[in-house]
Structure 1
Amino acid sequence: AGWYTEVLAPVLRTCGTLHAAHFSPASDVPYFRKSLENYKQKLADQPRVYDAVVLSVLQPPTFTRMISPGTADRVLTFRNVHNWLKSGTAEAVFASSFEALKPGGIFGVVEHRAKPGTSLERMIESGYVTEATVIELAENAGFQLVARSEINANPLDDTNHPKGVWTLPPTLRLGEEDKMKYLAIGESDRMTLKFQKPIND
């Protein structure tokens, strides 16, 4: 939707380029097309902030090249891995991220964190993914794990909710039911992982 664009675009406007990999305008999924339309409108509404953002397409299996190979300094993804697992495209996206980066480039992943040992079926259902799964996907693509951070951790989140991660804010899928309880927990417990494309690759 553009929350991270609001953070990154002003920083990179004068010292880099933000490439925003989004859905295809030709997608047969109405939600994807509407999401892209809304994002484009967001950019158009504030040209002084977003005029330098470059829009590309990342929607495997058809669109897997978000930028020219070996040209990106950083690839960042926020709370997307569960969606890619559900669609069966996680391996393709991780491979695309590896391809996009320069040798030595950084791949940053933030994702809702499942308890160790959670099944793939439960990960897809709940939106929470194990760190081991993310690390395995990254390493299989060629990345090396170089750092972890607890900056997005939430020890109040036990990850066991009726509507998965969407039970918590900001979605609050149960509406008014136990709303104060979930607001008190806050947003999901999240892993923050830093990977690197080997310099000699």
Structure 2
Amino acid sequence: MRTTVLAALIAISFSAGVLAKSPEAAPKIPSFVSAAVADPARKDDAANDDRRKIAQLMAFSEVKPGQKVLELIPGSGYFTRVFSAVVGPTGHVFVVWPNEYAKESESDVAASNALSKDAHYANVSVATQPANQLSAPEKVDLVFTSQNYHDYPDKFMGKVDPAVLNKQVFDALKPGGLFVIVDHVAEAGSGMRDTDTLHRIDPAIVKKQVEAAGFKYEGESSVLRNPADPHNIKVFDKSIRGHTDQFVYRFRKPAG
């Protein structure tokens, strides 16, 4: 009897351990996201979709047809093209380039402007504005930024206080709107130490800063996490570039 009981306890313990370590459930991908990702107009982006987890990120961001999205510092326009297809003709994508960043990325700004003039992306508009004066023409449902939150406190951006940025994002959103941040992970406890050198930021300081602006933290997606990243090298290092450990946080502006 004792042997049977012991075996049962071991089995229960093992099962509990398996459950505790089970992987995060894959987010359900809405059909409109799948259709946007499959848009033939972005066929050149498709080779990067699996690595960049575009469908999962769109699902986590909860973007929907008809919504208004503010995409902050869109880089090559990889996310812009999908946001445009998701929100559709009744929605809009406001692409925002801070003046200070635009000076460092003229070719990407030119590409954003060209995209907005393409009839296929008629729901995209582009604005440049001072880094410390973020605004939108109307209240939006989602503010999204990938790999650029860490830039704001740096010298080339005018050392914008994250509290200023987060307050302006809060004001740009509708009640209940979302703020989604994707960025490169720095060493735990490093705060903003590595933003200008390694182009990384400690996720804990981001969560603290955004919550201080009045947002409610809703959770994290682990689709871009990479435990093999040592967190102490530049994100451009050839050993890790394109495969850095990245956090994806979602925050909500309270509805009332």
| TM-score range for the pair, normalised by the shorter chain length | 0.7 to 0.9
Change in CA separation of 1:149 and 1:125 when aligned onto 2, cut-off 3 Å: same
Sequence identity of aligned pairs in percent? Answer: 23
* Counterpart AA for 1:165: V
Q: 1:53 aligns with which of 124, 140, 150?
A: 124
**Distance (Å, rounded) in 2 between the aligned partners of 1:114 and 1:28:** 22
TM-score (norm 2): 0.62
Counterpart residue number, 1:160:
232
Length-normalised TM-score, structure 1: 0.78
Question: Structure with the greater relative contact order (CA < 8 A, sep ≥ 6): 1 or 2?
Answer: 1
CA offsets 1:77-129 (integer angstroms, 9 cap, x no match)? 11111111213222222111100111111111111111211153323311111
Residue 106 of structure 1 corresponds to 178
| Alignment pair present for 1:198 and 2:244 | no
Runs of 5+ consecutive residues of structure 1 not aligned to the other structure: 173-181
Aligned to 2:87: 12
SS in 2 for 1:57: strand
User: Any conservation in 2 of the 1:60–1:92 contact (CA below 8 Å)?
Assistant: no
Q: Give the CA deviation at 1:194.
A: 0.6
In the alignment, does 2:116 pair up with 1:43?
Answer: yes
Choose which of 207, 210, 234 in structure 2 pairs with 1:135.
207
Q: Distance in 2 between matches of 1:53 and 1:112?
A: 27
For 1:91 and 1:132, how far apart are their aligned partners in 2? 15
Gaps of 5+ in 2: 1-75
Asked if 1 retains the 8 angstrom alpha-carbon contact of 2:116 and 2:125, the reply is no
**Higher Rg:** 2
Tell me how far apart the structure 2 counterparts of residues 146 and 28 of structure 1 sit (CA, whole Å). 29
- Looking at structure 1, the residues matched to 101 and 176 of structure 2 have their Cα atoms a distance apart, in angstroms, of 36
Cα deviation for residue 138 of structure 1 reads 0.4
- Superposition RMSD on alpha carbons, in Å? 2.2
The alignment covers a number of residue pairs equal to 177
1:56-135 aligned within 5 A: 56-61=127-132, 63-68=133-138, 71-86=139-154, 87=157, 88-89=159-160, 90-135=162-207
